Amino acid sequence: MPALVSKSLRDYRRALLGWTIGISAFFGLYLAYYPTIVSNSELYGQVALTKFPGAMRDLMGGLEDGFTSGPGYLQTLVYQLFGPMLFIMCAAVIGNRAIAQPEETGTLELTLTLPITRRRLVLERFAALALALLGVTTVTFLVVFGLALAVGMDVPADRILAGHTGVFLLALFFGTLCLTVGALTGRRGVALAVVGVVAVAGYVVETMGRDVDGVSWLRWISPFHYYLDGRPIQQGFPVWEYLVLAGAIVALVLTAIPAFDRRDVGV
């Protein structure tokens, strides 16, 4: 493994451990409630859900399957909003540690004076980000898979894998966005703000856009569209959508490299 990749991963170790435990605990808590929800289907069933205002149902992902079924529950409570948001936060934290944070604290200066080109620095920090998120995703996938089995949730492993792959790509997209804004500006506050705005706006546009014609045309630029629209938990791998996310990640990296290569660092 290239020195800067392994060094970065070593630096991220604690943060990654924390996020993995946190996200696993979150998933565990929600999945543990599943049996209670199923046994009270008159409270949480389809009929009860129709009482929610339409716009709110949209924000929660439509609730078409309700959440008394395994896939519906998993989709609505884990893979719809909270799961991705936790992963995105984790990705933004790690994404900022690629360039913007060490630049602001001053530790990037010595790294830059190593015999490593700036292009390699960006690529290796991106590789570290991807591997870090892959680690968190893999562990949390095993947790969700294990718990889904334990609580008797009737969701096949490949669907959970499809959902988790989507979350990984979405997180990597936002982590890379954070890295790229950091590469452009060197400011972690700016990078976090951009990630926050794109994530919230992207989510709202994608979910509200299903029913509101005025914004529905915006859905195609929302990163969430390429994760949620394919409904991975219900329908399996949305290959094209995921490829679009992967393409967007590559485009961001290709933006970050020349931007960072051209810039004065630490001024």
Partner 1 sequence: MTAVVETEGLTKFYGGRRGLEDLDLEIRPGEVFGYLGPNGAGKTTTIRLLLDVIRPTRGRMTVLGSDPREAGVRSRIGYLPGELALEGRERAGDYLAFLGAVRGGVSRGRIAELAERLEADLAVPMGKLSKGNRQKVGLIQAFMHEPEFLILDEPTSGLDPLVQQEFLAMIREVRASGRTVLMSSHMLAEVEHVSDRVGIVRAGRLVAVEDVAALREKAVRQVEFHFDAPVPREAFENLPGVRDLRVEGAGVRCTIDGRPDALVKAAARFTVVHMVSAEPDLEEIFLTYYSDEEARHARAGVEEPA
- Where along the sequence are the contacts to partner 1 (CB under 8 A)? 3-4, 7, 10-11, 14, 105-107, 109-110, 112-117, 120, 262, 264-267
Minimum CB separation of residue 101 from partner 1 in Å reads 10
State which residue, 64 or 109, has the beta carbon closest to partner 1: 109
State which residue, 33 or 262, has the beta carbon closest to partner 1: 262
| Per-state percent for the chain, helix, strand, coil, to nearest 5 | 80, 0, 20
Minimum CB separation of residue 179 from partner 1 in Å reads 19
Minimum CB separation of residue 188 from partner 1 in Å reads 14
User: Does residue 45 come out as left (phi exceeding 0), alpha (psi in the -120 to 50 range) or beta?
Assistant: beta
Minimum CB separation of residue 176 from partner 1 in Å reads 23
For the stretch 256-259, contacts whose Cβ atoms lie closer than 8 Å and that sit 24 or more positions apart, written own/partner, are 256/122, 256/126, 256/176, 256/179, 256/180, 256/183, 256/184, 257/118, 257/119, 257/122, 257/123, 257/183, 259/180, 259/183, 259/184
State which residue, 3 or 251, has the beta carbon closest to partner 1: 3
CA atoms of 224 and 122, how far apart (whole Å): 25
The answer to whether the beta carbons of residues 255 and 180 sit under 8 Å apart is: yes
Minimum CB separation of residue 17 from partner 1 in Å reads 12
Minimum CB separation of residue 16 from partner 1 in Å reads 14
State which residue, 177 or 183, has the beta carbon closest to partner 1: 183
CA atoms of 172 and 37, how far apart (whole Å): 32
State which residue, 8 or 140, has the beta carbon closest to partner 1: 8
For the stretch 12-19, contacts whose Cβ atoms lie closer than 8 Å and that sit 24 or more positions apart, written own/partner, are 12/94, 12/97, 12/128, 12/132, 15/90, 15/93, 15/94, 15/97, 16/90, 16/94, 16/132, 16/135, 16/136, 19/86, 19/90, 19/93, 19/136
Minimum CB separation of residue 265 from partner 1 in Å reads 5
State which residue, 108 or 253, has the beta carbon closest to partner 1: 108
State which residue, 39 or 117, has the beta carbon closest to partner 1: 117
